[in-house]
Amino acid sequence: MTIQTVDAHGGGDINKVVASLDGFIRALVDDPNAVVIQVSATSNGSCLRVMVAPGDLGQIVGKQGRTARSFRAILSAIGAKTGRRLELEICEEPSPLAPNP
């Protein structure tokens, strides 16, 4: 599991959420070793940025965004219970062969 924390607050609660999200994401993708989750603090909660291999992006987003919307609904429910906003960003992990700009 690759989790990068950047000024995240909330301690153990956010770690449990990230570990669960990581398990769900890894179960859906073809390349689970490429999954990286970055957690950063926002003014009223945390932003969870999920990076996957370029070929796995569609599996996480789902048809018409349904899978991503489901993840966001779960995070919203957890956020409501904990009193914090949990945002989800899904993006491609840059290919190691791609040139840097």
Quote the pTM value.
0.78
Q: Are 8 and 46 within 8 A, CB to CB?
A: yes
Closest Cα to residue 7, out of 36, 38, 41?
41
Closest Cα to residue 61, out of 90, 21, 82, 24?
90
Domain ranges of the chain: 28-92
Task: Kindly indicate the confidence band of residue 6, based on its pLDDT and cuts at 50, 70 and 90.
Answer: very low
Percent of the chain predicted with pLDDT > 90: 60
Closest Cα to residue 52, out of 21, 8, 9, 87?
21
Tokens of 28: 């859906």
Is 2 a residue whose pLDDT tops 70? Answer: no
Express each pLDDT in 79-99 by its tens digit: 999 888 999 999 987 655 544
* Bridge partners, 39 (sequence order): 5, 48
Express each pLDDT in 57-87 by its tens digit: 999 999 999 999 999 999 999 999 988 899 9
- Which CATH number does 28-92 carry? 3.30.300.20
Express each pLDDT in 29-50 by its tens digit: 999 999 999 999 988 889 999 9
Distance CA 33, CA 2 (A): 8
Extract the runs of DSSP E, i.e. beta strands, from the chain. 3-6, 36-42, 45-52, 85-92
